[in-house]
Amino acid sequence: MMRTLLSFGHGYSAQALESLLRPRGWRVIGTTRTAEKAARLSDGGTEALVWPGASRAQIEAALKDASHLLLSAAPGEAGDPVLADWRDAIAEAAGHLEWIGYLSTTGVYGDHGGDWIDEGTPLAPSTRRGQLRVLAEGQWQDLAAEAGLPLHIFRLAGIYGPGRGPFAKVRAGTARRIVKPGQVFSRIHVEDIAQVLAASIAQPNPGAVYNLCDDDPAPPEDVIAEAARLLDLPVPPEEDFATAEMTPMARSFYAESKRVRNDRIKDELGVRLKYPTFKVGLQALLQQETA
């Protein structure tokens, strides 16, 4: 039987996984929120469905065909929107689903003052976004235990990659180097997300939780400085976080500082990161842009 991935919320990371799977003969069905996005996905070969909006019969048929399930949709105040609509149908599909991947965030760990954390660190999110991810993770874990679903949870650090690098802002002169002493973030290139997911699909371990990040947590101002250096442009001046003008959303990203360990993806899945540091990743992005 053809291996079929049903991807709820078929966005940036899911499409990177699709680029690995379809050349291997996979069928990929992906949901998106608008007809315009569905048309773009369809042009690229995805079997696209608008959800919410697709008929119930369409989603039910996709679930019956799916051998693998990927979940990227952001949670709402009630938790995971996929479970709100499709909990019973997914439970009924347990007999033929070989792998389920839920894309979460390292924000579930909360603030650790720059210290190192791993998958065993207690969840203590300080932002509402992180709290909703903890809620959604728990809902999926509850259903997995109840229905025997092969659930895997992937906690992603800050995602970058083609179209999501700092170069455009540096070129435009709008990049900012906001400095908060002791602040560090972990990151992950989208191609490394895809290879981790593919490795997990090849070696399912139901119940597993994996952190997805590179080897080099670093202050955000260092990333902007490196991008400017690569472009041979002036490095933007430092701005003090305490007095910098920022939106509440932008300021909230500085509420948590931690260094995230990624040993499990290497030891259990045998992953060798293509972009182990942000410097390697930025250099590759710039080469791709200018190729």
The answer to the question of residue 89 being in a domain is yes
Domain count for the chain = 1
The answer to the question of residue 127 being in a domain is yes
Alpha-carbon distance 5 to 15, whole Å?
11
Could you read off the pLDDT of 71-110 as tens digits, one per residue? 999 999 999 999 999 999 999 999 999 999 999 999 999 9
Task: Tell me which residue has tokens 């994996």.
Answer: 210
pLDDT at res. 1: 62
pLDDT at res. 97: 98
The answer to the question of residue 181 being in a domain is no
Q: Is the whole model's pTM more than 0.85, yes or no?
A: yes
Alpha-carbon distance 131 to 123, whole Å?
9
Q: Do residues 39 and 56 lie in contact, with contact meaning Cβ atoms separated by under 8 Å? A: no
The answer to the question of residue 155 being in a domain is yes
Domain of 141, CATH number, reads 3.40.50.720
The answer to the question of residue 104 being in a domain is yes
The parts of the chain modelled with pLDDT lower than 50 are none
The answer to the question of residue 82 being in a domain is yes
The answer to the question of residue 43 being in a domain is yes
Question: C-alpha 47: how far from its chain's center?
Answer: 21
DSSP state at residue 256: -
Domain range holding 61?
Answer: 4-160+187-214+259-274
The answer to the question of residue 228 being in a domain is no
pLDDT at res. 197: 98
pLDDT at res. 120: 97
pLDDT at res. 291: 74
